[in-house]
Each structure stands twice: as C-alpha cells, then as structure tokens.
Amino acid sequence: MRQFAKPALEMVDSMRSAAAGDPMRAIAFGGAPGSNSHQAAMQFAPEALPLPCFSFEDALEAVDSGRAGCAMIPIENSQHGRVADIHFLLPESGLNIVAEHFMRITHALMALGEGPFEAAYSHPQALGQSRQFLAEREIVGLSHADTAGAAAFVAESGNPFIAALAPPLAADLYGLKIIEDEVEDAHDNTTRFVVLAKEPLDAATLVGTSAMTTFIFEVKNIPAALYKALGCFATNGVNMTKLESYQKGASFAATQFFADIEGVPGNPRVDTALEELAFQTNQVRLLGSYPQARKRG
C-alpha cells in the first residue's frame, strides 16, 4: 500500500484510530496531516474527525466503504485551474456533492538546510501555483502526492539540498525550517473544494436559496451539439458558472462536459433546462445540489 513518510505516520495513525471509533463524524481528505485539504476540512467542519488518506481516490473510497461520513476534495484553483483527474474520480465514485468550500491557499518553501536547493517536492497544484517563484530561483519542481506529505518526505530524507512547498503549518509538524513564506505567484490564490457524501442533499430544501448544481453531460457527435446543449440554459435564463470538456475513450468523438449552474432541480427554470438538455445529449448525470459558499457574478 502507498504509505506516508515516517515523520507523518504517528499523527496519521492516531487520526485514523480516532476516525475508526466514530466513522460518520470522520471527514476524509487526500494528504498528510497539515495538507491544504486537511485545513479546508477543519475550516468546514471544526468538530469533525480528520481522516488522512494517501490520495484523493483513497479519500473517496473511505466514504464509499463507510470509513468516513464525507470527504473534502480540491476541485479547481483560481490560478492553476482544474485539479488533475478529479473530474473523472468524482463521477466514478458514485458519491454526491453536498457542499463547496473556498480556501485562500498559501505555500511556504521549507527544508532542513538553508539552500540553495536542487529540487522542491510538492503536489502538482502547488508547483503550478508557484511556477514563477521556482523558475526565478532555478529550483526544479518534483511532484509528490500532497504538499504536507512532501514536507514529511523531505524531513525523512535528511537531505539539506531538497525542499518542500507546503502550508506553513507543515514546517512545524515535520520539523522543517521555513525558508520563504507566501511563495505562490498570485496573492489571491484560492482553491475551491467540494464535500462528497453517500447521500445527496434533498434539492427541494434548496429551492429559493442561493445554491448550485453540478452535473456532467455527454454531447452527441453532431455539428453544433454543444451550442444546442448550452442553448437549454440560455433560453431558460439559467446561469452556468463552469464548463470543462473531457474526452471519453480513445475515439476523440465522445466529449463529456463537467458543468456548474446556479439553481437546483425543483426550480422550474432549472427543471426545464435539464429536461431539454437530456433531449439534446447522450447522457446527463447530476453530481449534486448544494448551498453556494460564495456568490457568483
């Protein structure tokens, strides 16, 4: 099994055994203690029991298998865009989005030595969000499963010439020195997370409130397929706040889209738009309706 570096293991084990004692109170996240997802989970649900998992996939599996009541998963970043693979993992998990959470993200360069450093380890999102910083210092970015796990790995290595990019808290947790703080390239760097659970929220309870619905759809392989799909929302006055495309399989002809709209089923305009979308596309699948954590537009 993929495992965290030794300096993280004691904390991971004690969090895992606390979560095992009350799984429905547990919130799973991908990363070692101190990772951004851990901090987002604690901001969102301060009373919950954090359950560290090696990857996002493992965190989703923890919910599916009943080891956690929900999972906190990063989905997109203001600067670096989509979080890799999440848009496949979410639909495949069969879980439902029940909340969203926005968190300002800051990265620190941390190490055992003082530098210069030949490489910095981190999650690809953190490396992408600090691209200019690394380039200016000629530090090679090397990808790791998560930010805090990278800090634990650097601590375990004993190598003073490598560093990690991780939340400042990770330096305390794993005994590293902060070499430089706030190294992200944009100082409004923000990540949107979603919370996933086995049971969906009842959309009817969200009608008339500021709420979002997330869904995927697959367009027909015909001219103007996307135009017609989007027309369903345009003609019904439904605001789409996100749209991303994905290829499904190797034919490069079956395109899937991942979308967010303002509004929920039960709202007549949303119902009509989704009915029309089902007619215009090969497949529509709702991933959840949930309260809006931040006003759009």
Ligand X SMILES: O=C(O)C(=O)Cc1ccccc1
Least separation in angstroms between residue 63's CB and ligand X is 16
What is the rounded CA–CA span in Å between residue 71 and residue 56? Answer: 9
The secondary structure of residue 229, as a DSSP letter, is H
- Sign of the torsion angle spanned by Cα atoms 249, 253, 259, 263: negative
Number of residues that bind ligand X (CB under 6 A): 13
CB of 156 or CB of 271, closer to ligand X? 156
Among 8, 26, 33, 36, binds ligand X (CB under 6 A): 36
Applying the rule CB under 6 A, the residues between 131 and 150 that interact with ligand X are 146-148
Least separation in angstroms between residue 94's CB and ligand X is 22
Segments of the chain assigned E as strands: 26-30, 49-53, 70-77, 81-82, 96-104, 108-111, 119-122, 140-143, 162-166, 177-180, 190-197, 211-219, 240-247, 255-262, 281-291
Among 12, 28, 31, 96, binds ligand X (CB under 6 A): 31
Long-range (24+ apart) CB contacts under 8 A made by 224-227 are 225/280, 225/281, 226/255, 226/257
Stretch that binds ligand X, among 34-42, 44-52, 94-102, 269-277 (CB under 6 A): 34-42
Whether 241 is catalytic = no
> Does residue 281 interact with ligand X by CB under 6 A?
no
CB-based burial label for 124 (10 Å; 0-12, 13-18, 19+): middle
Among 67, 101, 123, 192, binds ligand X (CB under 6 A): 123
Whether 213 is catalytic = no
What is the rounded CA–CA span in Å between residue 272 and residue 235? Answer: 10
Among 26, 28, 70, 105, binds ligand X (CB under 6 A): 105
> Does residue 37 interact with ligand X by CB under 6 A?
yes
> Does residue 125 interact with ligand X by CB under 6 A?
yes
> Does residue 101 interact with ligand X by CB under 6 A?
no
Q: Mind telling me the catalytic residues?
A: 191, 193
Residues forming the site for ligand X (CB under 6 A): 31, 35-37, 74, 105, 123, 125-126, 146-148, 191
